[in-house]
């Protein structure tokens, strides 16, 4: 996987391009790359709930987009804004 090892905010999109998940990397030592690998290996609540513990499904047409944001405050603000704009139904559910 070609993903940055810096911290940031990322999107998971289904094969039609619809955003399914917005996430960030507050603690991941290897940043976005580590977090995306976690999704692929069923180590996230998103995969466990939405994909029924089948992270391999993410390898079939799903896409990831990300932006590196090293400042923790800016990262949290961007994640919150992206959730509010792209997935408003998810506010308050996690």
Mean pLDDT of the chain: 92
Give φ, ψ of 26 to 5 degrees.
-70, -30
- The token duo for 67 is 């932006």
| 85 domain residue, yes or no | yes
Q: Which residue segment(s) compose the domain that 77 sits in?
A: 64-94
**Measured between alpha carbons, how far is 84 from 90 in angstroms, rounded to an integer?**
8
How many angstroms separate the Cα of 56 from the Cα of each of 3, 52, 75, 83, 89? 17, 11, 27, 24, 25
What is the number of H-type helices and E-type strands within the chain?
A: 3, 3
Residues 30 and 55 in one domain: yes
Residues 87 and 76 in one domain: yes
| 47 domain residue, yes or no | yes
* Residue percentage of the chain with pLDDT more than 90: 81
pLDDT attached to residue 91: 67
Are the CB atoms for 12 and 46 separated by under 8 Å? Answer: yes
Residues 56 and 68 in one domain: no
In the structure, what pLDDT confidence band is assigned to residue 28 with cuts at 50, 70 and 90?
confident
Q: Reduce the DSSP state of residue 37 to 3 states and report it.
A: helix
Higher pLDDT residue, 90 or 53? 53
Give how many domains the chain has, as a whole number. 2
The contacts of residue 60 (CB under 8 Å, 6+ apart) are 15
| 16 domain residue, yes or no | no
């Amino acid at each position: 996987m070609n993903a940055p090892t810096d911290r940031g905010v990322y999107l998971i999109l289904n094969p039609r391009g619809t955003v399914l998940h917005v996430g960030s990397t507050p603690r991941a030592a290897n940043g976005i790359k580590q977090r995306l690998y976690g999704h692929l290996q069923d180590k996230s609540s998103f995969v466990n709930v939405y994909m029924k513990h089948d992270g391999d499904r993410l390898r079939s047409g799903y896409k990831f987009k990300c932006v590196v944001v090293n400042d923790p405050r800016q990262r949290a603000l961007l994640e919150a804004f992206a959730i509010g704009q792209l997935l408003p139904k998810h506010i308050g559910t996690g």
